Structure 1
């Protein structure tokens, strides 16, 4: 049996809950302690083969993919310069929405990603959004929404969306909606994309929303939108700092970034850090992977 000596603290594998794996070098993420990444939207010809390969390639992290976005014709992200052909399925009524979800089921998506970005173009209407959520729920698949623009978080929650791909930043949510979200919705943080540590209006709004969401008991997942912006592979210390600024205790940050606890006899992902993350969560930025699916 091979033995590895690690001078540090062993943790369950680390997860980045929002990446775009085709824009990064996922092998470097694994070497830097991130054993699982959740790809929240990419062209199917690229992402499905990559996710399949990650199941047996020891050099890749686990890649859990949503597949293409669902959006309305001409909606985000179809008009973005960075968007490759096929990145989104365009739906304009409940029937086409249900058909689009059904077409993804065979690929075992980790979630269905819907774009509700009214600042970048049109968005699906309420009945179409309802059909997306209802059809996905029939297969036991959660729906994740990119919410951007006034009222889009409220629309998503009313329809039954239970994961937000980003901390809301385009408007400061009222306490009633924050409390409702905290009762049944997970927010993926992605605070650092707003200025990369520099103060911006969007960062301030996002921090306020996440602070109140967390104070109401909401579940926060660490995510970076990796592939967007100047991040080195691995854990983004800027995101860890933002979570601290939003009021998360170091143990809360560990819950946000680690996979489920290790179990007897189960395949294990193990990361290690050179220090105590409950005292200084910034050491997560120096993580290494010890074991993937061991």
Structure 2
């Protein structure tokens, strides 16, 4: 049974090349049918898509306090992961985003957890309330507990030794244990020599940025590839102008991907002059790091178009399996209202 039927001349169903003419049936907020248009269940009237049909796109690193998230929905980004926001503003926005048609769906970490006086509390860009300062294991456990009613998608920890003090190992391990007990992963901003290794040893399983302040040892790269996801954010280094930090990040991500590590597209939107859309420079940088077009599609989507997944649909004018920069021209066809 379907409520709506979308038909396109081509679609991405997860393979290295596009499928030909494809119909996608939607029932409620779930894809209930995918196949050739001639075999599709009846629907009235079907919607013809001009372009190539894709699933919804996700930016895995955004700060919604610093941008207008509605701009992203028009550009095909149906889901955002907010990795650091002011609780009193962020949590109501998260709730609204699941049902308000003009907003992308927002999933969030809540505020940073950081050492007293640590990053980002001293940064000019950081509004008051964006971080919870935890100075010992007890306060760290309390901080995690305080976030649980808001159903955070992850817990964000700041390990930036270049911008102030960082939490000690006992406090970091407590955060990871407390989050893991509730099946919530911990995401770390690692900046400074040795911070990525500290995060890995403590059980952090998502890196908010590709590490750029040091060239990671090969054995650490291999360990990370077996258990950790890296969110790319390569374009924050120079915004199109080559820099040493960008080259270091690319070198680390290239080896991580070659070792089989999971890479997710993310931009750190709100950090400098980044486009309010899919960032063509970020996509091109992922290709520089060795991701092929299908890898990039998997990095920016939660699932190919298939039965049983949330019915977020986008479209692009040209084939992203041959030129993934086409994703920067995405438009949203449909955003599901469900969570």
- Alignment TM-score > 0.5, same fold: yes
Q: Provide closer, same or farther for how the CA distance between residues 266 and 216 of structure 1 changes in structure 2, counting only shifts above 3 A.
A: closer
What does residue 164 of structure 1 align with? Answer: 207
> How far apart, in 2, do the equivalents of 1:2 and 1:26 lie?
31
Which residue of structure 1 lines up, in the alignment, with residue 104 of structure 2? 61
Picking from 159, 180, 187, the partner of 1:137 is 180
Q: Distance in 2 between matches of 1:137 and 1:2?
A: 47
Aligned to 2:260: 217
Q: 2:92: which partner in 1?
A: 49
Unaligned runs of 5+ in 1: none
In terms of mean alpha carbon deviation, does 4-13 or 18-27 score higher? 4-13
The alpha carbon displacement at 1:5 in A equals 3.1
CA distance 1:170–1:265, shift in 2 (3 Å): closer
CA contact (8 A) 2:293 2:321 kept: yes
Match of 1:167, SS state, is coil
Report deviation, 1:261: 2.9
Structure 2 residue 304 is the aligned partner of structure 1 residue 231: no
The residue number in structure 2 matching 1:184 is 227
| 2:292 match | 249
Q: Please give the alpha-carbon distance, in whole angstroms, between the structure 2 residues aligned to 1:229 and 1:242.
A: 17
Number of residue pairs aligned between Structure 1 and Structure 2:
294
Output the CA distance in 2 between the equivalents of 1:202 and 1:232. Answer: 20
TM-score of the two chains, using structure 1 as the length reference: 0.98
Could you tell me how far apart the structure 1 residues matched to 2:72 and 2:62 are?
Answer: 11
Please list every run of 5 or more consecutive structure 2 residues that lacks an aligned counterpart in the other structure: 1-43
1:32 equivalent in structure 2: 75
Change (3 A) 1:2 1:232: farther
- Could you give the per-residue CA deviations for residues 69-113 of structure 1, whole angstroms, max 9, x where no partner exists? 000100000011111111111111111100000000000001000
Question: What SS does the aligned partner of 1:166 have?
Answer: coil
Contact 2:303 2:309 in 1 (8 A): no
2:325 alignment partner, SS class: helix
Aligned equivalents of 1:226, 1:24: Cα separation in 2: 7
CA contact (8 A) 2:55 2:303 kept: yes
Partner of 1:106: 149
SS of 2:48's equivalent? coil
Matched, 1:152 2:199: no
Q: Which residue of 2 aligns with 1:121?
A: 164
1:8-62 Cα offsets, whole Å, 9 max, x none, are 1111100000000121111110000000000000110111111111011011000
**Aligned alpha-carbon RMSD (Å):** 1.1
TM-score when scaled to structure 2? 0.85
| Bigger radius of gyration | 2
Determine the C-alpha separation between the residues in 2 that align with 1:201 and 1:3: 51
For 1:238 and 1:157, how far apart are their aligned partners in 2?
28
Query: What is the aligned partner in structure 1 of residue 319 from structure 2?
Result: 276
